[in-house]
Structure 1
Amino acid sequence: MTATWNLNADAGELLLFTDTAGRAARTGHKLTIAMNSWQATADVDDDGHPTSVELTVDVDSLEVRKGEGGLAPWTGAEPGIARSNALKSLDGKKFPTITYRSTGVTRDGDTYQVVGDLTIHGVTKPHPLTVTADGTTFSAETVVTQTDFTIKPFSLMLGTVKVADDVRLTLTATAP
C-alpha cells in the first residue's frame, strides 16, 4: 500500500541563489530568490519512504528577497527590476512552469538518490537530486546550469557584469 503526500509552498521553501560573473563581477549583486508558488507530490511506501516525486513551480511566483555584495547598495527599486529581468531571462510568459518528474528513487539510510527529468524554458534534461530526510522533513540542494536549458544569463555593460551560469537551488519541506 502506498500513500501520496501533497506539498506546496505552505509546507516549505524553494530558494534560488545566484552569483555574479564577468570582468566586473564584484560590482553586481548576488541574489536570493524565492519561488512562492509550487506544488509537489511524493508517492511513499508503507514505511514513509518516497518512491516517486513530482514538482511544478509557477515561474511568475518568483520573488527577489535580497541582493548582497556589489559596489552600490541594494535599493528599494532593485528587487522589482531584478524580478523583471529574471522573468525575461526565463521567458515566463511563454514557459510559465518549471517541472521535475522522477524516474527512479533509491534509498541509503536517510538519503535518497532521485533520478528524474527537469524541464525549464521548454527544455527537458535528466537531472539527479540528492534528498535527505529527517523524519518527515526533506531537503534537497542542486545546481542548475542556465545555458543547459537555453537560458541566456542576464548581463549588463556588454557582459562585463552578469548572472553566473550556475544557479544553486535549495528545497526544504515538511510532509503531512
Structure 2
Amino acid sequence: MEGTFELGPDDGRLLVRTGRSGLGRRAGHDLTIEATRWTAAVEAREPRDASSVEVTVDVDALEVREGAGGVKPLTDQDRAEIKKNLRKVLDAQRYPRITFVSTAVGEDAVEGDLTIMGRVKPVRIGAVLDAGRLRGGFTVEQSRWGIKPYSAFFGALRLADEVEIEFDLRLPG
C-alpha cells in the first residue's frame, strides 16, 4: 500500500501501559493511558525502506483509561490526580509534545528518534502492516530520557521504569 497518509485518533489507538514496583505496589494500579491528541504523517513507499513516519503526541492529551490491580478501583479524582502528576513528571508546560521521526523503515520494524522532554534517543519499534492495519509497540525506559518515574508514599510505591507503548491503526483507503 503506497501513499501519503495523515493519521490521528480517529484512525486508531495509541496507548501507554505502566506497571508498578516497590513495597507498596499492591496499593497502586497498572495504568492504561491513551493519547487522545496525536498526528502521524506516513509516507508509504515501495521498496519499504523508502518510507517514513513522523508522530507527534500532545502531552496534555494523555488520558487515563484503565487502572488494573490496586486495593480500590480508580476514581475520577484519582484519574485527575494522575493526569496532573503526569503533566508534572513530563514537564508538559516546557515540553508540550513527544515526537518520533523515523530514520529507517523495514519489513517488521521502524527505527527512529524519540524526543521526550527535549531529549532525543534512538528507538526500534516493532511494527506489522497487514490488511490496511498497522500494529506494533515498543518499550521505553523512562530513565533513559532523564524521567524520574513517579513515586508516592516516600518511594514505597513507584511506577516501573519500563513503560510499554502500543498502537493499532487503520490506514485510510
> TM-score, normalised to structure 2's length?
0.93
1:17 equivalent in structure 2: 17
Summarize the alignment of residues 85-124 of structure 1 with structure 2, pairs less than 5 Å apart. 85-107=85-107, 112-124=108-120
How many percent identity over aligned positions? 37
Cα root mean square deviation, aligned: 1.6
Structure 2: 5+ residue runs without aligned partners?
Answer: none
For the 8 Å contact 1:66–1:79, the answer to whether it is kept is: no
> Secondary structure of the residue that 2:101 maps to in structure 1?
strand
Matched, 1:36 2:32: no
CA spacing shift, 1:174–1:105, aligned 2, 3 Å: same
Once the two structures are superposed, residues 75-97 of structure 1 have per-residue CA deviations (whole angstroms, 9 ceiling, x without a partner) of: 23111111111111111111000
Once the two structures are superposed, residues 123-158 of structure 1 have per-residue CA deviations (whole angstroms, 9 ceiling, x without a partner) of: 100001111111111011111011111111111111
For the 8 Å contact 2:48–2:105, the answer to whether it is kept is: no
Once the two structures are superposed, residues 22-68 of structure 1 have per-residue CA deviations (whole angstroms, 9 ceiling, x without a partner) of: 11111111111010011001111258887111101011101111212
For the 8 Å contact 2:54–2:101, the answer to whether it is kept is: yes
Summarize the alignment of residues 140-159 of structure 1 with structure 2, pairs less than 5 Å apart. 140-159=136-155
Cα distance in 2 for residues equivalent to 1:61 and 1:69? 24
Cα distance in 2 for residues equivalent to 1:48 and 1:124? 24
How many residues align structurally? 171
Cα distance in 2 for residues equivalent to 1:126 and 1:48? 20
For the 8 Å contact 1:42–1:50, the answer to whether it is kept is: no
Q: What amino acid sits opposite 1:32 in the alignment?
A: T
Matched, 1:58 2:58: yes
Once the two structures are superposed, residues 6-25 of structure 1 have per-residue CA deviations (whole angstroms, 9 ceiling, x without a partner) of: 11111011111111111111
Moved more, 43-52 or 80-89: 43-52
Structure 1: 5+ residue runs without aligned partners?
Answer: none
For the 8 Å contact 1:24–1:161, the answer to whether it is kept is: yes
Moved more, 48-57 or 19-28: 48-57
